[in-house]
Amino acid sequence: MKDAGEFPVPANLAAAVRTEGRRGWLATLPPMLRRLEREWSIQVGAPFEPGGQTAWVAPASRRDGADAVVKILWRHPEAEREADALRIWEGDGAVRLFAYEAVDEESIALLLERCRPGTTLEAWPEPDQDVVIAGLLKRLWREAPTEPAFASLQAMCDRWADEFERNAATRGGRLPLDAGVAREGISLFRSLPRDARSTVLLCTDLHAGNVLAAEREPWLAIDPKPVVGDPTYDALQHLLNCDDRLRADPIGLVHRMAELLDLDAERLLRWLFARCVQESLDWPGLAAVAETVARSMST
């Protein structure tokens, strides 16, 4: 990326920086990484490609020769507590955290365990992915600690529902799904967190692309977006990433994951409906899924 000099920027992050006005943040990374190399006694390599949209992530070597990963996060609400969750999990189903620094108002730095070979679960057939995802989620769900205080699922859902309503208003009523279905879905998205029978520490972004093959364990979770709330919510990101099955048979997919996770299938179905509505403005294909699920809920 020319305006960042010789500093290598992976493709997905470069695209996000261009469209979201984060060039100033990107310019702070080279001196930050040079300082972290000294303070953490590491040598950082070229970033992983194509990378993500909100973090610069690269392999690193520690002084003792051990592998690690450096992750510099652009701060945003969903990413604020990644390090705290990794500390709680202590490597049980997720990568280990070696070091952490809240650098400034824009950046968080983490030194993480590196997974070898590091291939993602995406290469496996989706029915096999279901089993791995369910097994990891049940291990990661823990009683929410009082300290540190994590954000609530309720707050996240309220924020996302507000964003949906603002964006819908700018479209003048032109939505990818029936307006009544949209109102019902967003109302449910706000109310479901309130009537949860239990609350736990959630991962919220566990899908096959965030599960890596490792040597210490067969599979480890990376990149959590932890909040505290209804465990039923945590199945959703995997469901949304199973695009063909979700479109072909959302009810059957819900019942399979509910059984693997020991969850109430009807509650998971309501969560899926609400989340599909909430995502439908940016992901119009989910509008048809929302309407299919809505019809099944009314029968």
For residue 169, count other CB atoms closer than 10 A to its CB. 9
Q: Which tokens in the block code for residue 274?
A: 């609400």
Which of 31, 38, 92, 98 has the alpha carbon at shortest distance from 71? 98
Q: Which tokens in the block code for residue 272?
A: 């899926």
> Rounded CA gap, 219 and 132, in Å?
8
Which residues is 67 bridged to in the sheet?
A: 61
**Phi and psi based region of residue 67 (left: phi greater than 0; alpha: psi -120 to 50; beta: remaining):** beta
Which of 103, 92, 62 has the alpha carbon at shortest distance from 216? 92
Catalytic residues: 205
